[in-house]
Structure 1
Amino acid sequence: MKNTSKLLALALTFAAATLVTASPYQNCTSNAGYAVDVRVSKCASSPCVLKKGTSVSIEVDFIASQDSSVLTDRVKGIIAGIKLPFSTENADGCMGKGLTCPLTKGQKYTYKSSIPISVLYPSLQVIVEWALVNQNDAEVFCIQIPAKILSFF
């Protein structure tokens, strides 16, 4: 009985840790690869709360389904079905993002980046669409993350 209680406690602790680090996301259409896991800083539930005046970090584990030599960030906010561009600190996906270009078909990679959440953004719910596109404008991965932009928590 004592071992069963310890095992149950360990299983619950592992499940809680998994929930805290998991970020809700959906893959969107991409034809040059796909995301297998996504981590967003300070996001443990849906929608992710994005605080104005801060930066949000993201890590995406993905599989490349094409060789790619040039990569570019493409980040958009979807509000009422309209896609609006978000600025990134550096749009070059091969520089400072944890990737070494060129990417090789069939390999798993981890992309790392961040975006500033401007104090000028309105407080609202948004779907953040984050894609990495290659030299042929093909999406190496594309994910959508439900988010809420707020001034205060």
Structure 2
Amino acid sequence: MMRFVVFAAVFATVTAEVILTIHDCGSHDAIINSIKVDQCNAEPCIVQKGKDYTVHVNFTATRTVQEAHNVLHGGLGFISAPFPLQPENACQGSVTCPIVAGQTYEYVQTMTCPTFAPSIAVQARWEVKDEHRQDIFCFTTKLQIHS
């Protein structure tokens, strides 16, 4: 069964929160408790090429995993293109591994919208995968890329 969660985004310089809709796309090893994105104040989130955006995901692990890997794709219909995330190893960021079942974590990742990205609406698919390449958590949301 598909689960929908609410995506709360806080614009970095404004105190008001904007509620965005996201879709859990197959979280296997965690339950997403909340998500917010800095620098996003409307739906779809408008991202500027070359600018940084920070995602905060509060999640509770349902299974202990040894590794965590960042994966982000932007899709248009059946076409999907990877967006680079650094570091690729999520354990080198805000989450330390192993990720232990029953514990709650705050995953924080900053990404830069690539300057080569076309100025279009895309469906973003953000995944953090375990050592078996299964989704620890996964969510999708709509983005509008601008120059």
Q: Structure 2: 5+ residue runs without aligned partners?
A: 1-13
Q: Comparing 56-65 with 80-89, which one deviates more in the overlay?
A: 80-89
Q: Structure 1: 5+ residue runs without aligned partners?
A: 1-15
Match 2:135 to one of 127, 136, 139: 139
SS of the residue aligned with 2:17?
A: helix
Larger Rg: 1
Give runs of aligned pairs for residues 121-136 of structure 1, distance below 5 A: 121-136=117-132
Shift of 1:44: 2.4
Distance 1:138 1:74 in 2: 11
Once the two structures are superposed, residues 75-114 of structure 1 have per-residue CA deviations (whole angstroms, 9 ceiling, x without a partner) of: 1111123221110121101002x11211111211110111
Letter in 1 for 2:30: G
Identity %: 25
- Runs of 4+ that moved beyond 6 A: none
Distance 1:55 1:91 in 2: 16
| Contact 1:40 1:57 (C-alpha < 8 Å) held by counterparts | yes
- Which of the pair is proportionally richer in strand? 2
TM-score computed with the length of structure 1 as normaliser: 0.81
1:88 corresponds to = 85
| Contact 1:56 1:114 (C-alpha < 8 Å) held by counterparts | yes
SS of the residue aligned with 1:136?
A: coil
- Which of the pair is proportionally richer in helix? 1
1:25 corresponds to = 22
| Structure 2 residue 103 is the aligned partner of structure 1 residue 71 | no
Give runs of aligned pairs for residues 6-45 of structure 1, distance below 5 A: 19-20=17-18, 22-45=19-42
SS of the residue aligned with 1:24?
A: strand
TM-score computed with the length of structure 2 as normaliser: 0.84
Distance 1:90 1:100 in 2: 13
**Aligned Cα RMSD in Å?**
1.7
Shift of 1:24: 3.4
Q: Comparing 127-136 with 27-36, which one deviates more in the overlay?
A: 27-36
